[in-house]
Amino acid sequence: MKNVILIGFMGTGKTSTGRLLANRVGYSFIDTDNKIEAVNKMSIPEMFQKYGEKYFRERETEVIETIAKYHHAVISTGGGVVLNPHNMNLLSQNGVVVSLTASIDSILERTSRRNSRPLLETVDRRKVIEELLKARIEFYHKADCVIDTSNISPLQVTDKIIDFM
């Protein structure tokens, strides 16, 4: 079986869904952000603050190059992974790409709970979310399957992914 690659904007539930899905289908679970932090021994906010976004994107690509070769894995990606076609080519060669979407209100609510997203450290989060989404939406729709997670639980999202697989 191919890997399952979860893509989508921050706050669409990639990590919670990915963990649950991996448990249910007996795959290993990999979260690219966690992997970047472990490999570089540094948190993502710290990395952005010390070295900037470009540096983070390079580290992100290094991690993708490694994990794209794994098998039987559910891979939850950071929201910006889709911006680099090289990343997406590698991941999709060995995996089914599932895109999670959500309404702006859901994203706003979910991203207010965790303070670990440097791109959203701003006064007007709604405006930044709208702008980033506008620039990325076309990439989030280049997937084998698109699931709106706004009004359903991660468990229900995993049901839909399993139906699709």
Residues that bind ligand S3P (CB under 6 A): 10, 14, 33, 44, 78-80, 117-119
Q: How far is CA 96 from CA 34, 105, 112, 135, in A?
A: 21, 28, 30, 23
Q: Which strands, in side-by-side order, build the sheet including 145-148?
A: 28-31, 73-76, 3-8, 95-101, 145-148
Cβ at position 32, least distance to ligand S3P in Å: 7
Cβ at position 139, least distance to ligand S3P in Å: 11
Cβ at position 158, least distance to ligand S3P in Å: 17
**Minimal CB distance to ligand S3P: which residue?**
78
Nearer to ligand S3P, 105 or 121 (CB): 121
| Helix pair angle (125-140, 104-111), 10° resolution | 120
Nearer to ligand S3P, 36 or 161 (CB): 36
Q: Binding site residues, as ranges?
A: 11-16, 33, 57, 79, 117, 136
Residue with tokens 């990325």: 136
Q: Binding site residues for substrate, as ranges?
A: 33, 57, 79, 136
Question: In this structure, what token pair is assigned to residue 3?
Answer: 């890997």
Nearer to ligand S3P, 14 or 95 (CB): 14
Classify residue 99 by burial, with Cβ atoms within 10 Å: 0-12, 13-18, 19+: buried
